[in-house]
């Protein structure tokens, strides 16, 4: 068993994002199949608009914002689970919340 609090994991700036940090809560040193990361996007920030051939499973822990797919914005808020399929373009945007905080899992 492995237990770690998000506040004790080092917070790194996300490249090509704005006002966004990542903490790797469960990575390949702990798990084999999927990794858990914790993103904090401050007000006015966003993740990169991008796509890749792996999926995301996300959960909004705090705040609200949008997921932009290139055509439209979908509102997201605390308690939302989000699935982004492989190769879907996506971007998280925080316009109004102090912080938008999201768990994001990816396959390893």
The Cα–Cα gap between 68 and 29 comes to: 32
CB of 32 to a copy of itself, least distance (A): 8
Q: Which of residues 9-48 bind a copy of itself (CB under 8 A)?
A: 25-26, 30-34, 36, 38
The nearest distance, CB 94 to a copy of itself, in angstroms, is: 16
CB 36 within 8 A of CB 25: yes
CA distance 29 to 18: 28
- Interacting positions 47-106 with a copy of itself (CB under 8 A): 55, 57, 59, 61, 67, 69, 74, 76-77, 79-85, 88, 90, 103, 105
Cα 66 from Cα 60, distance rounded (Å): 11
Minimum CB distance to a copy of itself, residue 86 (Å): 9
- Cα 78 from chain centroid? 13
Per DSSP, the three-state class of 70 is coil
What does the binding site for a copy of itself look like in residue numbers (CB under 8 A)?
A: 1-7, 25-26, 30-34, 36, 38, 55, 57, 59, 61, 67, 69, 74, 76-77, 79-85, 88, 90, 103, 105, 107
């Amino acid at each position: 068993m492995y237990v770690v609090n998000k506040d004790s994991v080092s917070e790194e700036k996300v490249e090509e994002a704005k006002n966004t940090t990542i903490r790797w809560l469960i990575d390949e040193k702990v798990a084999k199949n999927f990794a858990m990361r914790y993103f904090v996007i401050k007000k006015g920030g966003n993740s990169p608009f991008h796509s890749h051939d792996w999926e995301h499973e996300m959960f909004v822990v705090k705040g609200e914002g949008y997921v932009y797919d290139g055509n439209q914005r979908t509102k997201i808020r605390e308690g939302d689970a989000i699935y982004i399929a492989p190769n879907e373009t996506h971007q998280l945007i925080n316009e109004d919340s102090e912080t938008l905080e999201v768990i994001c899992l990816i396959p390893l």
